[in-house]
Every structure is written in C-alpha cells, then in structure tokens.
Amino acid sequence: MDGRALTDFPCVGGNISRRGAEALRKGIWVLCVSASLRDTFPRVLGAYTLPRVPGSAIPAFPDGPNSCLVGTIMSKTALNFAGQGAQAVGMGADFAAQIPSAKAWFDRANEALGYDLASICFQGPEAELTRTENAQPGIFLVSWVACRLLLDRVPDLAFHATAGLSLGEFTALAAAGAMTFEDALKVVRQRGRFMQEACDVTRGGMAAIIGLDEAPTREVCEQAGVSLANLNCPGQLVISGPADKISAACDLAKARGARRALPLPVAGAYHSPLMATAQPKLDAVLAQVRISAPSVPVVANVTARPHGQPQEIQRLLVEQVTSSVRWEDSMRHLLAEGFTRFIELGPGTALSGFMKRIDKTAQVLNVADIPSLEATVKALTT
C-alpha cells in the first residue's frame, strides 16, 4: 500500500485489530473500518486494489461488533541476490564465527565441493577469491547463508518473489526451491570454471558507462562492436566485448555525453558472445540436475519476467551467459506487480543502490554481515 498508514486516508475511521497488528508484522496490511463504511471503503481507496491473500476470506471482523475486515493489501517482499563483483575477502566470516548454523552451511559447502571454499571467502588471498571459479560459488554461498539466517531470525517473514544478478539468479532459484543447495552450488562452481576457460582463450573486458541513456549506449555498442551486458539502473550500464574495442567504446560513450566510462577490473567479457564456449558445457551440467518449478516467481535476467517450466529455466540460464542482464527491467516488473520491499542478500550493497535509483519509495534492506542482519531483523520485527 505504498507505505501510507490508514490515517493518511481522510474520511476513513480505521483501526488495526490485535490480529491485524500481527499481520502487519508479517507484511500484510489489514484494513478495518466501521461496518457503516464497508460499502464506501473501496471507493475511498480509489485506484488501490484489494488482492485476496491465498486461503483468506473477508469474514466479519472478530475484534468488535462495529468493525469488519474489508480486505487485505500485501506489502509484497522480494529477495534479491548478489552477483559477481560483490566478492570481498572476509565475506561471511562473522556469520561462521558467531552463528553455529552458519558455520554448518559453510562446512556443508566445503564437503559438497571437495575443497575449502569457506577459507577462501574468509581469508583469501584476494587473487584466489577473485578467480571466477571461486568468486561465483563463494558469493552464492554467502548469499545463501545470509538468506537462511534471516529466515531463521524472522521465521514468519513471507517473501513473494526472488531475483538475482547474473550468478545470483541461481541463488534466487535455490531460495525458491527450484534447485537444492548442493546442486546449485556445484552448478555455479562449474559455471565459474567454464566462464574462466572462456576468459582464458579470449581477450575481453568490460566497462561501466555512467550517465548515458540506454538508446545512445546501444548505438555506441553497435558502432564499437561490443555488447550491452548489464542494464542495472538509470544512468548505470555496463558494456562487454574484446578489450581493444572496449577502450574505443569508452571514448565513443564520452563523446556522446557519458559522465564517465570506466574499464572494470574483470577477467573477461561476461554477458557477451565471447562467453559462448561456456554455454554447451553449462547446458550439459544443468541437464544432470533436477530443476523443479519454483515456489514463488523468480525473475529471469534474460526476459525480466518470471521463469516458467523447468525446461525453460534451463534454457534461460544457458542463454544468460551471453545475454544482457536486464536488472532495471526486472525490478520495474516487480514494482508494477505491487512489490514494495526488497531485501538484498549477500556481500555488498550494489543491488540496494540500484533500487534506490530505480524507485526511491521502495523499502530497501540488506543482509551482508552480522550488523546488517541485526538491522534488517529489527526493521522487520518492530
């Protein structure tokens, strides 16, 4: 309900019952008006809709003879998962040191992979963590642990969709039950390895284009022979392609009015045709994994719309390797569907920053470490 309280609606005598107060804590707006206003209340709401919560009805309100429950408006929550580039030495270390269940997840990951990924996350060295085959499963793991810890602390938190940036799409699918933890972790490790192999046989690069709209940036890409890799938020796009062409594209972007065009310290040209050799390998690995229908909508990077059947999930995950990440469009789709709260899970706060530029009215929370976990729990429970 766009964050406004009932008192912001004139002519409505409203109150929240004891049951309603509990529902509010779970992210559900419960609207209670006097029985005499029951027929006029939808008209007061104007353009607001009253979607029915699955399994609920509109019964007589139990907490007073002169009140009635006229509807519910979900304050819909999406979980967003970090992508490559968010990695930092030390990520997840305080989780494992202070919370036994977190340490158990890191131990479980080490056993599944057959090597000490947790140690690389906690202690580095940075060069080892930055390697794609370690960065991708490392970010997946820390993001997964952040998610589980949040749900442990706020067990009645309802989330209604998930999304993830690039590799974060795998975490989003796992969080929605489309893959098991172990399967997704192993696939992401293989994905990172395949992409590293593609980097080793190509000389690619990426650059952030700041302050230039999508249409002129696409024209720059076409002129320079590079690809538009990420559409993150207004004013922040990322291009990808052969390293020598990236340099020329940066010059063209500045000439077209970009405030900045910054080459990024990455190993290769992700989300461009230079990653094509990774696709058949990833497809073969995914074919060996059981993919189920997700329990909530999971927004695909390629389409900026929810995934469909398991076969489509596999196809889009393979396609994603060489396709643009349509992050801004993905978030705008969720906003249009009534989502008002976005919780970023995993190292860094890049996704939170993007959302603040996409829609300043959205509630943005994050869990990256113990302090941010505590802050988010407090925001959700008080």
Q: Each residue of 122-164: pLDDT tens digit?
A: 999 999 999 999 999 999 999 999 999 999 999 999 999 999 9
Instruction: Give me the catalytic one of 160, 271, 307, 333.
Output: 271
Separation between Cα atoms, residue 177 and residue 191, nearest integer Å: 20
Going by C-alpha positions, the residue among 172, 154, 49, 63 that lies closest to residue 378 is 154
Separation between Cα atoms, residue 373 and residue 351, nearest integer Å: 16
pLDDT of residue 75: 79
More confident of the two residues 50 and 91: 91
Q: With contact defined as beta carbons under 8 Å apart, do 2 and 340 qualify? A: yes
Q: With contact defined as beta carbons under 8 Å apart, do 227 and 221 qualify? A: yes
- 166 a catalytic residue: yes
Going by C-alpha positions, the residue among 192, 161, 168, 184 that lies closest to residue 306 is 161
Separation between Cα atoms, residue 224 and residue 246, nearest integer Å: 8
208-263: in CATH 3.30.70.250? yes
Q: Range with the lowest mean pLDDT among 64-73, 94-103, 240-249, 283-292?
A: 64-73
Helix, strand or coil, per DSSP, at residue 189: helix
Q: With contact defined as beta carbons under 8 Å apart, do 95 and 370 qualify? A: yes
Q: With contact defined as beta carbons under 8 Å apart, do 30 and 52 qualify? A: no
Helix, strand or coil, per DSSP, at residue 248: helix
Q: Range with the lowest mean pLDDT among 56-60, 216-220, 239-243, 293-297?
A: 56-60
- 271 a catalytic residue: yes
Percent of the chain with pLDDT over 90: 79
pLDDT of residue 151: 98
Q: Range with the lowest mean pLDDT among 23-32, 315-324, 350-359?
A: 23-32
pLDDT of residue 341: 98
Q: With contact defined as beta carbons under 8 Å apart, do 68 and 60 qualify? A: yes
Instruction: Give me the catalytic one of 75, 143, 166, 227.
Output: 166
pLDDT of residue 74: 54
pLDDT of residue 267: 85
Q: Vertex 185, ends 344 and 271: CA angle to 5°?
A: 70
Q: Is the pLDDT of residue 174 over 60?
A: yes
Domain locations in the chain?
6-74, 78-199+277-381, 208-263
pLDDT band at 265 (very low <50, low <70, confident <90, very high): confident
pLDDT band at 41 (very low <50, low <70, confident <90, very high): very low
More confident of the two residues 305 and 45: 305
CA 55: distance to chain centroid? 27
Q: With contact defined as beta carbons under 8 Å apart, do 326 and 304 qualify? A: yes
Query: What is the CATH architecture assignment of 78-199+277-381?
Result: 3-Layer(aba) Sandwich (3.40)
Mean pLDDT of 239-255: 96
Cβ atoms within 10 A of the Cβ of 40, count? 12
Give residue-wise pLDDT tens across range 211-238: 999 999 999 999 999 999 999 999 999 9
pLDDT of residue 168: 98
Specify the pTM. 0.83
Separation between Cα atoms, residue 211 and residue 229, nearest integer Å: 16
Give residue-wise pLDDT tens across range 43-57: 333 333 333 334 433
pLDDT band at 172 (very low <50, low <70, confident <90, very high): very high
Q: Measure CA of the first residue to CA of the last residue in the chain; give whole Å.
A: 18
pLDDT of residue 64: 45
